Structure 1
Amino acid sequence: MLSFNWPWLFLALPLPLFVYFLIPAKQTMQSQVFAPSLMMLAEQRQIGAQKPSIVLYILMALAWFCLVTAAARPVYVGEPKPIIETDRNMMLAVDISGSMSEEDMAVRGRLINRLQAVKVVLTDFIAKRKGDRLGLILFGSKAYIQTPLTFDLQTLEQLLNESAIGLAGKQTAIGDAIGLGVKRLQSLPESNRVLIFLTDGQNTSGEIDPIQAAKLAQQAGVKIYTIGIGADELVVQGFFGPRRVNPSRDLDEKTLTEVADLTGGQYFRARNLEELNQIYSFLDDLEAIESDKQVIRPEKSLFHYVLAFALGLATVIFMIQQRWLNKLIDITSPNKEKARV
C-alpha cells in the first residue's frame, strides 16, 4: 500500500492560486512616453497573440503537484514479515587439538578427519539458529574465544571453517574451555544459556578441572550438552596385515557424562557422521527456536522518483517558455530596427 510520512504538506497545493488571486499585480510606471504609431500597434497585437497555451499551465500545475507529493515523502509499505526473536545465548566449544586429525569419519565412502566432519554438520546447525546469539570457542592446550556472542551467523560459520587443527595447541584443555564458555554466558541477562561442547579426548591441559568448571556452570544456570566424537573401531594396515584398533580410546566419556548431568544437559556419542548429524538435529529440536511474535512491514521510499519526474516537467516547461520567448524576440526585433530608423 501507498502511504505518506508527512501528508499534511498537501495543504500547500492551492498555494499558487492564493498567490495569483490574492496578491495584486505590480503596476509598472514607464518613465518615458512614446508616440504611438501604426507599426507599434501591429507589434502589440503580434505579442498579444503569442500567449502561453493551456498545455503549459497544465504542465506547471502537474509539476507543482509532484513537488508537493515528493515533499510529503511517499513510501510503499510491503507485506508484513515476521521477526524471529528468542533471546537465546548459545556457545559452541569445538576441540581442535592434535587428535582431531584422526581420519575415522566417512563421507560418501571417503574418510575425512574429525574436525572436517564437525564443520560439515555444524554448518547446517548454525544456519537453523536464526534469532539466537551464537559464539564460538576453539580449544586445544588453551581455550580461545574465536567469535563472541553474535547474531552474525555468516561470520561465525566462516571463522569455524577457517579453523585448523593444532591452532590452539596439541593437548586438550576441557576444563578451561568450559570455564571460558561459562564466563561469557553468566554475565548476560538470564535466559536459555547453552554450551554445546565437543571433544574427542580427555582433559590433558589447562588450569581448571572439568568437574569444577561444570559446578560453576551449574551455579550460573548454564546448561551443557557434551558430545564425544570418534569411531569405536578402525581397520588399519600393519606390518602383519590389517588390524582393528579403537581410535577413541582416549575419550573420557565418564567426565563428559558427569559434566552434562551436573548442568541439566545430556551427553551424546558420535561414532560417525550420521550420528553426529542426528545429535545436532536432536539439539535443534530440544533447544527449539521460539515462534514468531512480532512482524514488520518493510518500507520503500518513493519520493526521489516523484521528484525526478517533477524536475523533468520543469525542464519541459523551461524549453517551451524559451521557444515562446524566442518567437517574441523574432517578431519584435525587426520592428525595433524600423522604429529606430
Structure 2
Amino acid sequence: MQELGSANMNFEIAYPWVFFLLPLPFLMYWILPPLRVQKDAFKFAMFNRSVKVLDEAPRKSAWIAKRNIVQWASLWIAWSCLLAALSWPRLVAEPEMKVKTSRSFLVAADISFSMDTKDWKVDGKLISRWEATKKLMSDFIEKRKGDRLGLIFFGSNPYLQAPLTTDLETVEWLLDQTEVGMAGQVTNIGSAITYANKVLEKDTLDHKVLLLLTDGRDSEQDVAPMDAVKAIAEDSVKIYTMGIGDPTQKGSDLDEKTLKSIAEATNGKYFLAMDQDQMEKAYEVMNELEPMEFEEEEYRPEVPLYYYPLGLSLFLILIHQVFRGIFHLFFQKA
C-alpha cells in the first residue's frame, strides 16, 4: 500500500462489470435440484414386527435439505463481498508525472597508480587526484537523475563496478568503495573503450554517452584507442574525455592529443582538469551539453481496498460453515 499523505483521494472501482455476476446464486437456487443426504439405516429380519411393537413409524433413509432463507442470504452477501473484492475498489489520487530514463551514461575512470599522486589542493590540503575525482564525480552522478548510470574502472584491465542502473545511491556507494590500483598498475585506454562498448551495445536506450577520465597515456598492450573508437562510434555512442592533471608538469604522461581525437571522432568534447575547480566547471559544461530531457508519463497513486470486502466474505463463509456443522450434528443425533 502506498502512503499518499494529505493528497485528495477519490473512490474508484476498477472492474465494475464484475457485478453482472451478482444474480448467479439465484440462478443456481432455481436450477439445481435439492440436496439429498443419506442417513444410516438399520435392517433386520423382524423389522416390521418391531415397528408394531414399538409403535414407531419408520423414517426414510434420506432427508431433503430445506432451503434456509437465512443461510442463503448470508451466502449471497458473502458472494457480493467476494465480487466487490474482485472489482478492485481503491482510493485514487490526482495524476502525477513520473520521470522515465532518458539515456545511458557510462563513466570509465582510470584508477592506475598515477591517480594516487597528491598534487591537488582542496581546502588548503593536498589530496590525491583520485580522491578529488571521486568526490566531484559523486556530485555529478547525483545530478544525473534522468539517466541510467554505470561505472567502469580500468588500469591494466577494465572491469565493471556498477551496471547501468537508475539506482544512483548504489552507484555512488560503489564509487566510494573503489581505490587506486584495484585494476592494475598501467593505463589501458583502448581496452577500457572496447569494454565500455560491450556494456553499451547491450543497452536498449538510443542515447548513449561515455565519459572517459584518465591522467595517463595508453599502454598499447591490446587495442589501440582509435581502433576501439571506430567500433564504438558505429553504435552512435558519444564520448566525452577528461584529462586529469597538468600536462606541462614534469613527469606527466597525459596524452591530450589522443583524448581530443577520441572526443572529436564521436562528436564529443575534451576537458582538461588540472585542479578541482576546473573539473567542477567541466562537469557543469557537460550538464549543459547533455541536459536531462526527461520523458514523463502519468501515473495515479492509489490505495487498494479489496481486502475489506474479501475479509468480510471469508468471515461470512466461515460462520455459515460453523452453523451448518452444528445443524448437521444436531440432526444426526435427532
Assess same fold via TM > 0.5. yes
- Please name the residue that 2:261 is paired with: 258
Flag the 1:60–1:249 CA change in 2: closer, same or farther, 3 A.
same
Which residue identity does 2:155 align to in structure 1? Answer: G
Contact kept in structure 1, 2:103 and 2:205, CA below 8 Å: no
- Please name the residue that 2:118 is paired with: 103
Flag the 1:206–1:82 CA change in 2: closer, same or farther, 3 A.
farther
Contact kept in structure 2, 1:92 and 1:135, CA below 8 Å: yes
Give the whole-Å Cα distance in 2 for the aligned partners of 1:121 and 1:195: 17
Flag the 1:138–1:64 CA change in 2: closer, same or farther, 3 A.
same
Contact kept in structure 2, 1:82 and 1:293, CA below 8 Å: yes
- Please name the residue that 1:221 is paired with: 236
Counterpart among 4, 15, 18 of residue 6 in structure 1: 15
**Partner SS for 2:294:** coil
Which residue identity does 1:280 align to in structure 2? Answer: Y
Residue 154 of structure 1 and its aligned partner are, at CA, apart by 3.5
- Please name the residue that 1:301 is paired with: 304
1:155 aligns with 2:170: yes
Q: Summarize the alignment of residues 53-68 of structure 1 with structure 2, pairs less than 5 Å apart.
A: 65-68=80-83
Contact kept in structure 2, 1:86 and 1:289, CA below 8 Å: no
Q: Summarize the alignment of residues 70-149 of structure 1 with structure 2, pairs less than 5 Å apart.
A: 70-149=85-164
- Please name the residue that 1:338 is paired with: none
- Please name the residue that 2:4 is paired with: none
Give the whole-Å Cα distance in 1 for the aligned partners of 2:278 and 2:189: 22
Give the whole-Å Cα distance in 1 for the aligned partners of 2:268 and 2:199: 18
**Partner SS for 2:303:** strand
Flag the 1:72–1:111 CA change in 2: closer, same or farther, 3 A.
same
Residue 225 of structure 1 and its aligned partner are, at CA, apart by 0.7
Give the whole-Å Cα distance in 2 for the aligned partners of 1:144 and 1:285: 29
Q: Summarize the alignment of residues 12-31 of structure 1 with structure 2, pairs less than 5 Å apart.
A: 12-13=21-22
Residue 72 of structure 1 and its aligned partner are, at CA, apart by 2.1
Q: Summarize the alignment of residues 233-312 of structure 1 with structure 2, pairs less than 5 Å apart.
A: 246=249, 249-310=252-313
Give the whole-Å Cα distance in 2 for the aligned partners of 1:68 and 1:195: 54
Give the whole-Å Cα distance in 2 for the aligned partners of 1:223 and 1:15: 63
- Please name the residue that 1:173 is paired with: 188
Contact kept in structure 1, 2:104 and 2:205, CA below 8 Å: no
Which residue identity does 1:261 align to in structure 2? Answer: E
Residue 226 of structure 1 and its aligned partner are, at CA, apart by 0.6
Q: TM-score, normalised by structure 1?
A: 0.69
Give the whole-Å Cα distance in 1 for the aligned partners of 2:317 and 2:191: 71
Contact kept in structure 2, 1:97 and 1:166, CA below 8 Å: yes
Give the whole-Å Cα distance in 1 for the aligned partners of 2:200 and 2:33: 75
Q: Summarize the alignment of residues 321-332 of structure 1 with structure 2, pairs less than 5 Å apart.
A: none
- Please name the residue that 2:209 is paired with: 194
Give aligned-pair identity as a percent: 40
Give the whole-Å Cα distance in 2 for the aligned partners of 1:148 and 1:25: 66
Flag the 1:285–1:62 CA change in 2: closer, same or farther, 3 A.
farther
- Please name the residue that 1:206 is paired with: 221
Q: Deviations over 1:204-253 (max 9, x none)?
A: 353122233333334443221111122579xxxxxxxxxxxx47722222
Residue 116 of structure 1 and its aligned partner are, at CA, apart by 2.0
Flag the 1:230–1:306 CA change in 2: closer, same or farther, 3 A.
farther
Give the whole-Å Cα distance in 1 for the aligned partners of 2:159 and 2:74: 68
Query: Is the radius of gyration larger for structure 1 or structure 2?
Result: 1
Which residue identity does 1:11 align to in structure 2? Answer: F
Flag the 1:248–1:316 CA change in 2: closer, same or farther, 3 A.
farther
1:185 aligns with 2:188: no
Contact kept in structure 1, 2:247 and 2:253, CA below 8 Å: no
Flag the 1:217–1:19 CA change in 2: closer, same or farther, 3 A.
closer
Q: TM-score, normalised by structure 2?
A: 0.70
Residue 200 of structure 1 and its aligned partner are, at CA, apart by 1.1
Residue 288 of structure 1 and its aligned partner are, at CA, apart by 1.5
* Structure 2 residue ranges without an equivalent (≥5): 1-9, 36-50, 52-68
Residue 275 of structure 1 and its aligned partner are, at CA, apart by 2.3
In terms of mean alpha carbon deviation, does 183-192 or 199-208 score higher?
Answer: 183-192
Contact kept in structure 2, 1:102 and 1:113, CA below 8 Å: yes
Residue 303 of structure 1 and its aligned partner are, at CA, apart by 0.8
- Please name the residue that 2:60 is paired with: none
Contact kept in structure 2, 1:201 and 1:248, CA below 8 Å: no
Give the length in aligned residue pairs. Answer: 300
Contact kept in structure 2, 1:134 and 1:153, CA below 8 Å: yes
Contact kept in structure 2, 1:141 and 1:168, CA below 8 Å: yes
